[in-house]
A and B are shown apart, each in its own frame.
Chain A
Amino acid sequence: MHVSLHHYLFVSFMLFSLGLLGVIMRRNLLVIYMSLELMLNAANLALVSFSRFNNKLDGQVLVFFIITVAAAEVAVGLALIVALFRKRQSAHVEDLTSMKL
């Protein structure tokens, strides 16, 4: 079977699902963050493959931007995590809840 758009999209979907699962189920903030990166990459993959199979480069431009934003986001997010860790001495999601039911 010839590799087509659907194959790439399936991989992208799988990546995305894995990322989502990580975000929802893992408890370590850093791992959650990595899962987020996975999801972003899934989106990137989808965009690039669309770009390829549609003969348009705009998708790739978008991915370029996404990567840049992701870099900025990672920097800020990690700084926040560090700050949070300093305050709470934990990177565990469940330890960060401060609201009361």
Chain B
Amino acid sequence: MEAINNLISGGVVQDIMFYVFAALTLLCAILVVANPFSRSPVTSAMFLVLTIISMSGLFLLLHAFFLAAVQILVYAGAVMVLFLFVIMLLDLKEEQRRKIKFFGLAAGLVSVSIVAGIFIKSLASIKLTAEPALEGETYVLGKLLFTQYTLPFEIISILLLVAMVGVILLSKKKLE
């Protein structure tokens, strides 16, 4: 038991877990965007759920326990249910395999390479300041939210309310 604990805190297991979760995340993400077997949005949605779950694993590794929970609750729970609900509602057939447009492909590649360029460029300028040493974040995070970030917090809640009203209005049958 002691040995296992050491193994975990020693970082080797954490490293392994990172690779596992990262690989899982990316693999599921690929399957969301480009699934060679199915074009159905349902499949994509299901893989998105997997992506999100594996991402919350990454969050755990980063000691963001609260966020990991929220991620699963909000994303994998609420948001994805909404997605699936809409997909079912619209009763979408499996997407036909249209030809990939050359323009789309080119645009995608160019965009990605641009992002990659920016990424590499900015990586160079990153300097690590300290070793990660935060513990018991959830309590601190809560305190931060309700002290320093009270105003944004309230605004966000209003935003949610507005979004709710907006959605009700939008989904009324007759849009004027």
Interface of A is mostly: helix
Verify if B3 is at the interface (C-beta below 8 Å from A). no
Per-position binary interface string of chain A over residues 35-51, scored 1 when its CB falls under 8 Å from any chain B CB and 0 otherwise: 10110010011001101
Chain B interface size, under 10 / 10 to 19 / 20 to 34 / 35 or more: 35 or more
Q: How far is the CA of A3 from the CA of B19 in the complex (A)?
A: 9
Q: Cβ of B123: which chain A residues have Cβ within 8 Å of it?
A: 6, 9
Q: By the criterion CB–CB under 8 Å, are B128 and A53 in contact?
A: yes
Query: Given A11-B22, A26-B33, is A57 in contact with B67 using a C-beta cutoff of 8 Å?
Result: no
Q: By the criterion CB–CB under 8 Å, are B134 and A52 in contact?
A: yes
Q: By the criterion CB–CB under 8 Å, are A79 and B108 in contact?
A: no
Q: A64 → chain B, closest Cβ, in Å?
A: 7
Q: By the criterion CB–CB under 8 Å, are B130 and A11 in contact?
A: no
Q: How far is the CA of A8 from the CA of B119 in the complex (A)?
A: 13
Q: By the criterion CB–CB under 8 Å, are A13 and B108 in contact?
A: no
Interface of B is mostly: helix
Q: By the criterion CB–CB under 8 Å, are B64 and A48 in contact?
A: yes
Verify if B11 is at the interface (C-beta below 8 Å from A). yes
Q: Which of B46-82 contact A (CB under 8 A)?
A: 48, 51-52, 55, 58-59, 62-64, 66-67, 70-71, 74-75, 78-79, 82
Q: By the criterion CB–CB under 8 Å, are B144 and A57 in contact?
A: yes
Q: By the criterion CB–CB under 8 Å, are A30 and B83 in contact?
A: yes
15 contacts between A and B (CB under 8 A): A2-B11, A18-B33, A20-B111, A25-B100, A44-B67, A48-B67, A55-B134, A57-B140, A67-B70, A71-B74, A71-B79, A75-B82, A75-B163, A82-B171, A91-B92
